[in-house]
Amino acid sequence: MKQDKNIPYKVYLSEDELPKAWYNVRADMKTKPAPLLNPGTGKPLKAEELYPIFCEELVAQELDNDTPYIEIPQEIRDCYKMFRPSPLVRAYFLEEALGTPAKIYYKFEGNNTSGSHKLNSAMAQAYYAKKQGLKGVTTETGAGQWGTALSMACSFFGLDCKVYMVKVSYEQKPFRREVMRTYGASVTPSPSMETEVGKKILAEFPGTTGSLGCAISEAVEAATTHEGYRYVLGSVLNQVLLHQSIIGLEAKAAFDKIGVKPDVIIGCAGGGSNLGGLISPFMGEKLRGEADYRIIAVEPASCPSFTRGRYAYDFCDTGKVCPLAKMYTLGSGFIPAPNHAGGLRYHGMSSILSQLYDDGYMEATSVIQTDVFKAAEQFARVEGILPAPESSHAIKAAIDEALKCKETGEEKTILFGLTGTGYFDMVAYEKFHNGEMTDYIPTDEELAASLAKLPVVK
């Protein structure tokens, strides 16, 4: 391996260098993300209206557009020490395999049992729920990473954890389910007969294998109908991007240590939490006019919220029990094709990222899943880590950028977020290896039909 002088393969921060505050990128945005609306009145939600759903300190974080740094409580910092700081890795092996002059770095968030970055926000949300004296929390999970992260966090803080798991994943991913139960969570396949909204969806669509939007509706209902429970969400929300800023803050500190600045920053985008977290301090510099970076969101061609969605107010869930959020959306009824394996299947996108994208501060691109798995395999074979399919969207885009540098001879520095590991996604890998994986790109007509059902907001 040919190494640059003074640039190690892995750049680690010490425990003392763990960031002491999260960074709230909204403080530096000239155009703030649009507020959540009450679906009944169409008016911006007040804090009190959110208290039945979220715990109070998280509501404050959700609505805070002005405070740039929010201190990370010591208890959360202590939990972070179990799996943070995470390494910034110089992908020397991948660079060599590609024969590119580009310098590729990735920030690896898969070094914990839940296998993804989601634990960063799970720890924070469980801590605040405990601090408020709650009994437990409810949530939804799709592929299972968020449910796993939350069940770990709840076991650390002594909270009950009710997870509504999208039925198709519940059946296809029994291992994830059992990890959650190992950490003490109860896991219910969604839609279920446990909630009114679940019963309604089952009556309307018998035999449905569920969707994230539907599981969210059930989890919210369970929280508001059980005394001492609140709902928590693993992506999309402003508070989640705030907690995930730890990824970017560490990456920036590690880069500063070796005197390097990235030119291009790439992340996969489902609801936007890892990307929002990774880019936040860099975006802050860009917004303040102190530095410039190219920032690229990568989404699946089968669920293309940024690249083919509409920037509009929409429901966050299928059952329409949640507030309205202004975001790039495919419509709350949109469900990606069943052959879509690669995660990142939420119909909407973080309001913060949506506004930044609309204002031209970042780009977006979409990739098809067979290309994503090709990139995943190529990466695994040289860098060793078995990447999550979600993360592999970013790998694919990073490889493409590096190959462009090979053509032009540019020595760009590329940073991408490697959000997690793919050990629980081997059925998808198997399909890919057997040549059974197909690509599906929704037609304009399908998207138009879904977008036609967007709510009318005065």
Q: Is the peptide bond before 336 cis (omega within 30 degrees of 0)?
A: no
Q: What b/e readout covers 191-213, taking b as 16+ CB neighbours within 10 angstroms? A: bbebbebbeebbeeeeebbbbbb
Does 271 participate in binding ligand PLP (rule CB under 6 A)?
A: yes
- According to CB under 6 A, which one of 151, 169, 419, 450 is a site residue for ligand PLP? 419
State yes or no: residue 191 binds ligand PLP (CB under 6 A): no
C-alpha span between 314 and 322 (Å, rounded): 10
Render 314-350 in DSSP notation, one character per residue: EESSTTS-SPEEEEEES-TT----TT--SS---SS--
Nearer to ligand PLP, 375 or 405 (CB): 375
Nearer to ligand PLP, 388 or 437 (CB): 388
Nearer to ligand PLP, 95 or 390 (CB): 390
Work out how close the CB of 241 gets to ligand PLP at its nearest, in angstroms, rounded to a whole number: 8
Diameter of the chain by CA atoms?
A: 64
Among 264, 344, 352, 399, the residue binding ligand PLP under the rule CB under 6 A is: 344
Q: 88-90 and 10-11 as β-strands: parallel, antiparallel, unpaired? A: antiparallel
Residues 131-166: b if buried by 16+ CB within 10 A, e if exposed = eeebebbbbbbbbbbbbbbbbbbbebbebbbbbbbb
Return d(Cα 191, Cα 207) in angstroms, integer: 10
Does 369 interact with ligand PLP (rule: CB under 6 A)?
A: no
Using the minimum distance from each CB to ligand PLP, give the nearer residue, 100 or 121: 121
Nearer to ligand PLP, 398 or 405 (CB): 398
Q: How many CB atoms lie within 10 A of CB 93?
A: 17
Q: φ, ψ for residue 417 (rounded to 5)?
A: -90, 120
Rounded CA-CA distance 328/309 in Å is: 6
Q: Compute the distance between CA of residue 117 and CA of residue 146 in angstroms, rounded to an integer.
A: 9
Does residue 210 touch ligand PLP according to CB under 6 A?
Answer: no
Which residues on neighbouring strands pair with residue 188, listed in sequence order? Answer: 164
Q: Is 248 in the site for ligand PLP (CB under 6 A)?
A: no
273-287 and 351-358 helices, crossing angle to 10°: 50
The answer to whether residue 140 forms part of the interface with ligand PLP (CB under 6 A) is: no
Does residue 278 interact with ligand PLP by CB under 6 A? no
The binder of ligand PLP chosen from 189, 270, 331, 342 (CB under 6 A)? 270
Least separation in angstroms between residue 29's CB and ligand PLP is 19
DSSP H/E element including 390: helix 389-408
Nearest to ligand PLP by Cβ — which residue?
Answer: 420
Stretch that binds ligand PLP, among 17-25, 77-85, 387-395, 447-455 (CB under 6 A): 387-395
CA atoms of 338 and 216, how far apart (whole Å): 19
Question: Which of 268, 298, 352, 415 is close enough to bind ligand PLP by CB under 6 A?
Answer: 268
**Position 145 contacts ligand PLP (CB under 6 A):** yes
Nearer to ligand PLP, 92 or 357 (CB): 357
Among 103, 118, 130, 162, binds ligand PLP (CB under 6 A): 118
Give the number of residues in contact with ligand PLP, rule: CB under 6 A: 19
- Nearest approach in angstroms of CB 428 to ligand PLP is 13
- Taking CB under 6 A as the binding criterion, the range among 40-48, 190-198, 374-382, 386-394 that sits at the site for ligand PLP is 386-394
Q: Taking CB under 6 A as the rule, does residue 366 contact ligand PLP?
A: no
- Among residues 359, 347, 354, 367, which one has the least CA distance to residue 276? 354
Among 116, 139, 148, 369, binds ligand PLP (CB under 6 A): 116
User: Shortest CA distance to 124 belongs to which of 244, 290, 217?
Assistant: 244
Site for ligand PLP in 48-107 (CB under 6 A): none
Only segment of 48-56, 63-71, 272-280, 376-384 that touches ligand PLP (CB under 6 A): 272-280
Please report, as ranges, the residues that interact with ligand PLP according to CB under 6 A.
116, 118, 145, 235, 268-275, 343-344, 388, 390-391, 419-420
